[in-house]
Amino acid sequence: MELLVLGDSISAGYGLEDKSGWVQLLEQRLKRQHASINVINASISGETTSGGLTRLPTLLERYQPRWVIIELGGNDGLRGTPLKAMESNIERLITKAQEAGAEVLLLGMRIPPNYGRRYAEGFFQTYARVAQRHQVSYYPFFLEGVGGIPELMQADGIHPNDKAQDQLLDNIWPQLESLLTHTDS
């Protein structure tokens, strides 16, 4: 069975040593606990919800995943993408995955406050709204316990470093494990 990770630089392991990103750690954990699950990391640095939407149909057809983790939107926020466009893209990502028979885990994100409080809050709330509307598993802030902590971030202050990767996986593990065991039959 396949688990597809559709993300941006955080899931692609930007700036990290090979095999040290949270997706690689997930793959190792799943080999120990759910040996029949194969992880496909289709994450690309700089990816937006629009780019993910363009690539997703081919990925779904090629891999036919049972589960899809969507970790996109951060680059949309950093580019000031209109929130309605981002929300529509995330909804379409979820719908396409569900129509292909996959269970979805949506990972929420926050953006720096320098984009304005209204935009930053609206951005954060978009994930919860979409997750509730489509009744998918959801983790509100993927960088919880990592973002804004200098010793866990790379020099750019945007990307988590090697030391943060276990925390990222641990953040989402309860939701993911519940999803896997609920549909692992």
Active site residues: 9, 156, 159
Contact predicate 122/83, CB 8 Å: yes
Eight-class DSSP state of 45: T
Q: CB-based contacts of 77: which residues, under 8 Å, 6+ apart? A: 86, 109, 111, 115, 119, 120, 123
Cα–Cα distance for residue pair 63/60, rounded to 1 Å: 6
What is the enclosing helix (H) or strand (E) of 77? Answer: helix 74-78
Cα–Cα distance for residue pair 107/139, rounded to 1 Å: 5
Cα–Cα distance for residue pair 71/68, rounded to 1 Å: 10
Cα–Cα distance for residue pair 92/98, rounded to 1 Å: 10
